[in-house]
Structure 1
Amino acid sequence: MTTELEIVQDWRVFATEHSLSAVELSGDEAIVTWSDGRKTPLNRFFLRDNCTCSTCYLPLTREQLFEITDAPADLAAASAGIDAEGNLVVGWSDGHKSSYAPGWLRSHAPDAESRAERHAARARPFIWGREYADALQSFDYADIMADDGALWAWLSALRSSGLTLVRNVPVEEEALLAPISRISHLRETNFGRVFDVKSKPRADSAAYTSVNLPPHTDLPTRELQPGVQFLHCLKNEAVGGESVFVDGFAIGEAMRAEHPDEFATITTAPMAFWNRDDRTDYRWTAPAIALNVEGDLDEVRFANFLRGPIDAPAERMGEIYAALRLFQAMTRDPRFFIERRLSSGDMWAFDNRRVMHARREFDPQTGERHLQGAYVDRDEINSRWRVLSRQLGEPC
Structure 2
Amino acid sequence: MNTAAAVADFRRYPLVQALTAATPLADRVQVTWADGRVSPFHHQWLRDNCPCPQCVYSVTREQVLEIVDVPEDVGPCEISIDDAGHLCVVWQGGHQSLFDPGWLRAHAYDDHSRAERLANKPRRQLWQHDLKLPVFEYQALMVDTDALLQWLLALRDIGLTQVRGVPTEPGSLKQIAQRISFIRESNFGVLFNVQSKADADSNAYTAFNLPLHSDLPTRELQPGLQFLHCLVNDADGGESIFVDGFAIAEALRQEDCEAFDALCQIPVEFRNKDRHSDYRCLAPIIALDALGQVTEIRMANFLRGPFDTSVEQMPRFYRAYRRFIALTREPRFRLVQRLEPGQLWCFDNRRTLHARNAFDPNSGARHFQGCYVDRDELLSRILVLQR
* Identity in percent: 51
Q: Say whether 1:91 aligns with 2:90.
A: yes
Q: Please, which of 145, 151, 157 is the counterpart of residue 154 of structure 1?
A: 151
CA contact (8 A) 1:125 1:159 kept: yes
Report the alpha carbon displacement of residue 32 of structure 1 after superposing the two structures with TM. 1.0
2:331 & 2:15 partners in 1: Cα distance?
45
1:393 maps to none
CA contact (8 A) 1:245 1:355 kept: yes
1:361 maps to 358
CA contact (8 A) 1:289 1:297 kept: yes
Q: Please, which of 299, 303, 308 is the counterpart of residue 302 of structure 1?
A: 299
Q: Please, which of 192, 198, 201 is the counterpart of residue 201 of structure 1?
A: 198
Q: Say whether 1:317 aligns with 2:331.
A: no
Q: Say whether 1:126 aligns with 2:152.
A: no
Q: Please, which of 141, 144, 166 is the counterpart of residue 144 of structure 1?
A: 141
2:56 maps to 57
2:33 & 2:212 partners in 1: Cα distance?
51
1:114 maps to 113
Report the alpha carbon displacement of residue 78 of structure 1 after superposing the two structures with TM. 2.1
CA contact (8 A) 1:127 1:250 kept: yes
Report the alpha carbon displacement of residue 122 of structure 1 after superposing the two structures with TM. 0.5
1:394 maps to none
1:261 & 1:26 partners in 2: Cα distance?
48
Residue 315 of structure 1 aligns to a residue whose secondary structure is coil
Q: Say whether 1:22 aligns with 2:21.
A: yes
Which 10-residue stretch deviates more, 309-318 or 353-362? 309-318
Residue 99 of structure 1 aligns to a residue whose secondary structure is strand
CA contact (8 A) 1:228 1:375 kept: yes
Report the alpha carbon displacement of residue 74 of structure 1 after superposing the two structures with TM. 2.1
CA contact (8 A) 2:242 2:353 kept: yes
2:102 & 2:265 partners in 1: Cα distance?
39
Q: Please, which of 204, 222, 230 is the counterpart of residue 225 of structure 1?
A: 222
CA contact (8 A) 2:228 2:346 kept: yes
CA contact (8 A) 1:75 1:94 kept: no
2:81 & 2:283 partners in 1: Cα distance?
50
1:169 & 1:260 partners in 2: Cα distance?
43
Structure 1: tracts of 5 or more residues without a match: 391-396
Report the alpha carbon displacement of residue 8 of structure 1 after superposing the two structures with TM. 5.0
For each residue in 1:177-234, what CA deviation from the matched residue of structure 2 results, as whole angstroms up to 9, or x when unmatched? 1111222111000000000001011111000011110000000000001110010001
1:388 & 1:95 partners in 2: Cα distance?
39
Q: Say whether 1:343 aligns with 2:340.
A: yes
For each residue in 1:342-376, what CA deviation from the matched residue of structure 2 results, as whole angstroms up to 9, or x when unmatched? 11001000000100000001111111111000001
2:100 maps to 101
Which 10-residue stretch deviates more, 286-295 or 379-388? 379-388
2:168 & 2:152 partners in 1: Cα distance?
22
Q: Please, which of 270, 274, 293 is the counterpart of residue 290 of structure 2?
A: 293
CA contact (8 A) 1:8 1:54 kept: no
Which 10-residue stretch deviates more, 255-264 or 293-302? 255-264
1:344 & 1:278 partners in 2: Cα distance?
33
Q: Say whether 1:374 aligns with 2:332.
A: no
Structure 2: tracts of 5 or more residues without a match: none
1:318 & 1:27 partners in 2: Cα distance?
57
Q: Say whether 1:384 aligns with 2:385.
A: no
CA contact (8 A) 2:21 2:32 kept: yes
Give the counterpart letter for 1:238 in structure 2. A
CA contact (8 A) 2:16 2:105 kept: no
Give the counterpart letter for 1:202 in structure 2. D
Report the alpha carbon displacement of residue 13 of structure 1 after superposing the two structures with TM. 0.8
2:81 maps to 82
CA contact (8 A) 2:214 2:300 kept: yes
Residue 51 of structure 1 aligns to a residue whose secondary structure is coil
CA contact (8 A) 1:234 1:345 kept: yes
1:380 & 1:308 partners in 2: Cα distance?
31
Which 10-residue stretch deviates more, 310-319 or 366-375? 310-319
Which 10-residue stretch deviates more, 142-151 or 13-22? 13-22
The CA RMSD over aligned residues, in Å, is: 1.2
Structure 1 segments, 4+ long, off by >3 Å, are 5-9
Residue 373 of structure 1 aligns to a residue whose secondary structure is strand
2:77 & 2:42 partners in 1: Cα distance?
14
Give the counterpart letter for 2:270 in structure 1. F
Residue 365 of structure 1 aligns to a residue whose secondary structure is coil
How many residues align? The count is 384
2:21 & 2:163 partners in 1: Cα distance?
53
1:261 & 1:90 partners in 2: Cα distance?
53
Residue 267 of structure 1 aligns to a residue whose secondary structure is helix
Which 10-residue stretch deviates more, 250-259 or 368-377? 250-259
Report the alpha carbon displacement of residue 79 of structure 1 after superposing the two structures with TM. 2.2
1:272 & 1:50 partners in 2: Cα distance?
42
Tell me the TM-score normalized by structure 2: 0.97
1:26 & 1:11 partners in 2: Cα distance?
32
1:68 & 1:175 partners in 2: Cα distance?
50
Residue 362 of structure 2 aligns to a residue whose secondary structure is helix
1:11 maps to 10
For each residue in 1:266-287, what CA deviation from the matched residue of structure 2 results, as whole angstroms up to 9, or x when unmatched? 1121111000111001000111
1:14 & 1:312 partners in 2: Cα distance?
50
